């Protein structure tokens, strides 16, 4: 098995800062604050200098004006020209200017901030440009309405209600096909039936049934990893009687299988 070392290598290269052949890569999580470093080796005072941070043009977007400082004038004290997506999120470190430090901080990082950034000193005797690559890793959260194909809230129905158990069904859909699972109130994954898949148009449907025997708040969670999207629905279940034991269980499983089969047939 080569999987474990590979995973370790992956984790190592995906965290923190790596610098290969002068190309610095900074990796942070979405919604965090990040400092993009830029310092002159000479450590000369840059209070009266000009430095200009840009985000390099990418496939789907042009070059962006991130932060410009010109002898005390900058985007946070009235200067125009900053790209709107960076407005109010970027600042420099005034107390660092007297030793050549033009680093900036970007607050509340978004996945869209990912890209290459340059820090330019065009007016120095020998103009200098520094560059750094920023990678903002998304985490799973509700992105419905934000990403096309993102699954809406799953739909839960009770297929059968008996004295000692319930048969619940969760239906989720989206494109790509969502992964669906049942969880208890504390977020533990619960054993469920085999999922049923279907497709209408370009939308993928998933039905996942579960038989529950205890009072709890059950949660059906739909995840689309490639969209960094996760959404859930909940259903409270109250079962007042306790299970009558093994014989009852056999009957219950048989009935639940029957209902599952019937529900599959009525759907077609």
Ligand X SMILES: *[C@@H]1O[C@H](CO)[C@@H](O)[C@H](O)[C@H]1NC(C)=O
Q: How far is the CB of 44 from ligand X (least distance, A)?
A: 13
- Distance CA(36)–CA(52), nearest Å, equals 13
Q: How far is the CB of 159 from ligand X (least distance, A)?
A: 47
# binding residues, ligand X (CB under 6 A): 13
DSSP-assigned beta bridge partners for residue 137: 29
> Token pair 């839960």 is at which residue?
156
Q: Check residue 147 and report its DSSP letter.
A: S
- Distance CA(192)–CA(90), nearest Å, equals 47
Q: Which residues, 131 to 170, sit near ligand X by CB under 6 A?
A: 133
The interface region with ligand X, picked from 74-82, 112-120, 141-149, 154-162 by CB under 6 A, is 112-120
Asked if 252 and 162 count as a contact pair (C-beta separation under 8 A), the reply is: yes
- Distance CA(69)–CA(51), nearest Å, equals 5
- Distance CA(247)–CA(172), nearest Å, equals 34
Token output for 57: 């043009």
- 198 forms part of the interface with ligand X (CB under 6 A): no
- 91 forms part of the interface with ligand X (CB under 6 A): no
Q: Residue 37 or 138: which CB sits closer to ligand X? A: 37
**Binding characters for ligand X, 9-48, by CB under 6 A (x = yes):** --------------x-----------x-x-x---------
Q: How far is the CB of 57 from ligand X (least distance, A)?
A: 9
Q: Which residues bind ligand X (CB under 6 A)?
A: 23, 35, 37, 39, 58, 93, 96, 101, 103, 114-116, 133
């Amino acid at each position: 098995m080569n999987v474990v070392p590979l995973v370790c290598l992956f984790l190592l290269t995906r965290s923190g800062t790596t610098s290969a052949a002068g190309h610095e890569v900074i990796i942070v999580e979405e919604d965090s604050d990040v400092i993009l470093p830029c310092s002159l080796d000479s450590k000369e005072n840059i209070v009266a200098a000009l430095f200009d941070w840009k985000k390099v043009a990418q496939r789907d977007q042009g070059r962006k004006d991130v932060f410009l400082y010109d002898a005390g004038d900058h985007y946070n004290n009235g200067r125009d020209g900053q790209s709107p997506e960076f407005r109010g999120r970027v600042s420099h470190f005034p107390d660092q200017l007297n030793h050549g430090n033009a680093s900036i901080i970007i607050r509340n990082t978004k996945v869209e901030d990912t890209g290459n950034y340059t820090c330019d000193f065009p007016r120095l005797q020998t103009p200098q440009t520094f560059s750094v690559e920023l990678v903002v890793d998304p985490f799973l959260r509700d992105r419905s309405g934000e990403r096309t194909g993102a699954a809406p809230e799953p739909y839960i129905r009770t297929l059968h209600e008996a004295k000692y158990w319930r048969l619940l069904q969760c239906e989720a859909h989206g494109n790509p096909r969502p992964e669906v699972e049942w969880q208890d109130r504390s977020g533990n994954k619960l054993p469920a039936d085999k999922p049923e898949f279907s497709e209408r148009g370009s939308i993928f449907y998933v039905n996942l049934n579960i038989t529950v025997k205890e009072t709890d708040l059950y949660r059906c969670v739909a995840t689309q990893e490639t969209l960094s999207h996760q959404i859930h629905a909940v259903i409270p279940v109250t079962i007042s009687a306790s299970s009558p034991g093994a014989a009852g269980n056999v009957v219950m499983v048989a009935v639940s299988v029957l209902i599952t089969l019937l529900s599959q047939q009525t759907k077609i």
